[in-house]
Amino acid sequence: MHLEQVRAWFGRPLWEMEPADADVYFGKVLRTTAKGTRLSRAQALKTFFVFLELRPVIWWRSTR
């Protein structure tokens, strides 16, 4: 759910997001939201990008 909200704001695939985009999202868009909301969305984004980093490693290991 959180990733869908971030992507709706971003308007493009999340893998195209740059650090400056995240700065705008968390610094301006979510500035007035509750701390827990910011934290949960940040965690969702972090998990997504960790998944993207690990995906090729998992694929490589599964083909051995």
Q: Walk along the chain (64 residues) and give the pLDDT tens digit of each residue.
A: 789 999 999 999 999 999 999 999 999 999 999 999 999 999 999 999 999 888 877 666 676 6
pLDDT value of residue 13: 93
Q: Are 20 and 10 in contact (CB under 8 A)?
A: no
The whole-number pLDDT of residue 32 equals 95
Cα gap 59→35, rounded to integer Å: 36
Per-residue pLDDT, 27? 94
Give the whole-angstrom CA distance, residue 42 versus residue 56: 23
The letter for the amino acid at 10 is F
User: How many separate domains does the chain show?
Assistant: 1
- By residue range, what is the domain housing residue 8? 2-62
Whole-number pLDDT of residue 60: 67
d(CA 53, CA 47): 10
